Chain A
């Protein structure tokens, strides 16, 4: 298996038009989403369990 070296990775990444601000915003959003996911397991749809009769 051939490992991609850093020079190749940087070459391939050059076509991506990404700046630092976008990276920061995307990471913030990603972290916000994952912490929201951790807080909410099973919180949606709990009401259906009451619907018994």
Chain B
């Protein structure tokens, strides 16, 4: 773990993506932070989207699961991963993400099973912790293209468009 991860890259595990859609609460609060800022990237592999779509479909119906996947596909940054690896962990490590949101407390120890061993440090947190600690003003300054003070959110979290 010698390289610095990108602090503006976030991965949400399938349980958090499904909870954002179906439960709301802290999962939605956390992902709203991501959706509000065009410069905060949500990373996901195809395998992570497959897993999420399967999960949502089994809890609701295929139409909603398919539309949810299409929305995620439009907004995510796609990363490749070894097919046999844990989708969320692999998405995070393959994409040099700094944050992985998950309700699975055992995920930290699961990285030993990855095909490619992690080179970067990764913060694995439940969404409520991420939502509480998310500090867009200080994060804004870490982006090379940004100068000046944090101007506030630049996207509507409900339709994905800039105002």
Contact = CB atoms under 8 A, between A and B. Distances in A.
B85 to A, nearest CB: 12
Interface in B81-115: 84, 103-104
Given A9-B68, A13-B60, A3 B14 contact: no
A38 interface: yes
Nearest to B64: A12
B51 A30 contact: yes
A23 B23 contact: yes
Interface in A11-52: 12-13, 16, 18-20, 22-24, 26-27, 30-31, 38
B70 A3 contact: yes
A20 B19 contact: yes
Given A5-B158, A10-B24, A38-B84, A26 B59 contact: yes
Q: Size range of the interface on B? A: 20 to 34
Is chain A's binding surface mostly helix, strand, loop or mixed?
helix
Contacts of A3: 70-71, 74
Contacts of A16: 22, 59-60, 64
Contacts of A4: 67, 70-71
B58 A26 contact: yes
A1 to B, nearest CB: 9
Nearest to A16: B60
B15 interface: yes
B13 to A, nearest CB: 8
Given A4-B71, A5-B71, A9-B21, 18 more contacts: A3-B74, A6-B35, A6-B159, A7-B159, A10-B21, A10-B28, A10-B158, A13-B22, A18-B22, A23-B15, A23-B18, A24-B15, A26-B55, A27-B14, A27-B15, A27-B18, A30-B51, A30-B58
